[in-house]
Structure formats: C-alpha cells, structure tokens
Amino acid sequence: MKPFSKKEIALLFSTGKFAETYSCLSDDIEWIIAGERELIGKPAVIDFCNQTAYYFSSVTTHFQTKNIIEDEQAIAIDGNAVFINNDGKQTRVCSCDVYRFENERLVRINSYCITLNKAQP
C-alpha cells in the first residue's frame, strides 16, 4: 500500500476519516482547537478523534472543501460541514485546519471552527 501524501493526510483528517491517519501522527503531536481545547500527544489526539468520529456516525455529515493551500511543510484546508441529526435539524460549521509536517509525520494541527447555527435537541 502506497503511503499517503501530506495533502491526502490533511484531507482525510479534515473530512473526519481520522483512523486512516493514525499511523501518520507523530508521537508528540499537538492539536490546538482554537477557543476549545489543546490536545498533546498521540494518545490524546486519537482519543478525541474517536469521540468525534462517534458523533459523526450518529449524524449525517456533508463536508465541502473550499480551498487548499500547501507548501513544503504545511497544508491549510478551508471548508464547511453540515451535520444533520435524526430529527432533520442541521448544524453548519465553517472551518480551517492548518497542518504542520516534519519528517513526513504530522506534528501539529491548528483548527479554527465557527458554528453558524447549532441544532437544538
């Protein structure tokens, strides 16, 4: 199996296909979700990814990538997501994830997310 490119890793992560990227994470990865949390280390990042993936599996998700900007060591992905719960209520989120790589490993993610509306229970 061919290893993923940096761009493929970033796209997988940004679209909630976290488990496919776990082998690409550095042991001391940092994931900073602006205004929400800071996750340090591969176990903490994987744990939060698994929690997030569980939520994604409980709703219908639609991801749309708007822009991808990349250089030798970093990739930024700008996009939107719509999450539809079982009652048909939608939550819309705009986000930008900035990925930093060193030695072909993902070492840092900075995520900026804005919820435009949140479905009420």
Asked if 81 and 66 touch (Cβ cutoff 8 Å), the reply is no
State the pTM of this model.
Answer: 0.90
How much is the pLDDT for 21?
Answer: 96
Q: Which residues pair with 98 in a beta bridge?
A: 76, 110
Going by pLDDT thresholds of 50, 70 and 90, the confidence category of residue 2 is low
Tell me the average pLDDT of the chain. Answer: 93
- pLDDT tens per residue across span 19-43: 999 999 999 999 999 999 999 999 9
